[in-house]
Structure 1
Amino acid sequence: MTETAGFENPEFWNSMYDDETAPWLIGEPQPAIAALEREGWIRGRVLEPGCGSGEHTILFTKLGYEAVGVDLSPGAVTYARRTAAEKGVPNARFEVANMLRPDDHPVLTPAFDTIVDCALFHGFGAYGRDIGAHLAYANVLHKLCNPGGRVHILAHADTEPGLSSQIGDSVIRESFGDGWELEDLQPARYQGHITEQISEVAVKAGLPAGGPVDLAAWLVRVRRL
């Protein structure tokens, strides 16, 4: 199986939720995403593609936003719904959907004011090496976002060792061209957790063998024209 095929295979991700080995399961929202809300950037109807454990959709719902999180993995959606119930936000909405096939999923109906992508964008296209896949995904985001709406992306940066696919800022700039205004692109940090199951991968990348890890990221804001 190719890396890209694995990326679009639900079973590839389900196993990470079954045994809780996913390095992004940190039990709370990413600090960079939570800061966006505090700074007033989360507005209107909100979509979180690749929601994973659901922490951001849970946060937005708790704060009163109309938010929905979607993920390719049924295991992720089950995990997110359980987490929402445990955190006292049972009304947080999560649905299974493939972001590259929006027409197959009623939940992916256009008219979102804010889209928050935390660690999904960098994985498209053979783990970050095929600009065509990133462009296709950006076109989906353009279709789903209201004119004047904003897309926020927290993506793994290639400026330091990392645990998975990483991208350079040029990929972001090339992906969001026509139909977009790139308002901000800056270095940020992404919080992860290295479990025993992925410790060998981490060590090979020059990272600690276990425990919390702080990774280089890009924080991006683009406006849909």
Structure 2
Amino acid sequence: MSELSGTLADDPFGDRHPTSHERLAGLSWDASYHDGPAPWDIGRPQPAIERVASDGGFAGAVLDAGCGTGENALHVASLGLSVLGVDVAETALAIAREKAQDRGIEVEFAAADAFGLERLGRRFETVLDCGLFHTFDGDERPGYVAGLASVTEHNGTLYVLCFSDDGPDTGPHPVGRDELRAAFNPGNGWNVAAIEPDRIHTRFHDDGAPAWFATIKRI
């Protein structure tokens, strides 16, 4: 890790290799939460997730992959669903657990590597990826997508909210529609049901940045 900045190089990773985003940012995911809220931590659920939840889009056991400080997971759990939020950032998970306790919401948060989801040993009817997929480069995506497949029930639903390459003021790591379809295809156990334009709200985009909201079915 000699090419990394001091902040990243000093952060313990254990057996985990830093992701492409971490290498580019010079910060570990955990360090992103050390000096106040991360850019993507808006202190409330993403409006797109609230909308889908209000439409009954979450069912059964739910996994929130890359849950951060837990706002989306907490919102879904408040509806009475069983929710597990996972992240590699222990600082974010500690904040999420404190929120759950303060709000009296029953939800589970656990440390887990997005490239080793199969180690959870559990399967989920609904899986949420809010702002995680777009942080992975082309070499990282196949392993991540395979891990998602390993924990998603057949006929289950995966929702992916990611930065879009379509429109002005795009966020970092924008993704094209074709990239989503290439990553999630019948050959690796997925069928893309819909990819709709949406917005991701950040601390730097008051009205949100251009996004795709993909509904993907496990086959």
TM-score tier after normalising by the smaller chain length: 0.7 to 0.9
Structure 1: state its 5+ residue gaps: 195-206
User: What is the CA distance between 1:5 and its match in structure 2?
Assistant: 6.7
Residue 156 (1) aligns with residue 163 (2): yes
The one-letter code matched in structure 2 to 1:14 is: D
1:185 to 195, 200, 204: 195
State the match for 1:138 in structure 2.
145
User: What is the CA distance between 1:213 and its match in structure 2?
Assistant: 4.7
State the match for 1:220 in structure 2.
214
User: What is the CA distance between 1:88 and its match in structure 2?
Assistant: 2.9
State the match for 1:75 in structure 2.
91
Structure 1 residues 110, 161: closer, same or farther in 2, change over 3 A? same
State the match for 1:101 in structure 2.
116
Give the superposed CA RMSD: 2.2
User: What is the CA distance between 1:7 and its match in structure 2?
Assistant: 6.0
Q: Deviations over 1:139-158 (max 9, x none)?
A: 11111101100100100111
State the match for 1:121 in structure 2.
133
The alignment's TM-score, normalised by the length of structure 1, stands at 0.82
Which protein, 1 or 2, shows the higher relative CO under an 8 Å CA cutoff with sep ≥ 6? Answer: 1
Contact 1:192 1:214 in 2 (8 A): yes
The one-letter code matched in structure 2 to 1:216 is: P
User: What is the CA distance between 1:32 and its match in structure 2?
Assistant: 0.2
User: What is the CA distance between 1:16 and its match in structure 2?
Assistant: 2.2
State the match for 2:12 in structure 1.
none
2:29 is paired with a residue whose SS is: helix
Contact 1:173 1:182 in 2 (8 A): yes
Q: Deviations over 1:106-160 (max 9, x none)?
A: xx223210001100011112xxxx2x32122111111110110010010011123
1:46 to 56, 62, 70: 62
The one-letter code matched in structure 1 to 2:202 is: G
Residues paired across the two proteins, number? 200
The one-letter code matched in structure 1 to 2:150 is: K
| Partner Cα distance (1:44, 1:102) in 2 | 18
| Partner Cα distance (1:56, 1:3) in 2 | 23
State the match for 1:168 in structure 2.
176
2:64 is paired with a residue whose SS is: strand
Contact 1:13 1:75 in 2 (8 A): no
The one-letter code matched in structure 2 to 1:20 is: G
| Partner Cα distance (1:169, 1:85) in 2 | 39
2:122 to 110, 122, 125: 110
Contact 2:21 2:135 in 1 (8 A): no
| Partner Cα distance (1:164, 1:83) in 2 | 28
Structure 2: state its 5+ residue gaps: 5-17
Contact 1:157 1:216 in 2 (8 A): yes
Q: Deviations over 1:58-117 (max 9, x none)?
A: 11211110100000111111111122223332x3210010010235x4xx2232100011
User: What is the CA distance between 1:170 and its match in structure 2?
Assistant: 1.1
| Partner Cα distance (2:150, 2:178) in 1 | 22
| Partner Cα distance (1:114, 1:137) in 2 | 16
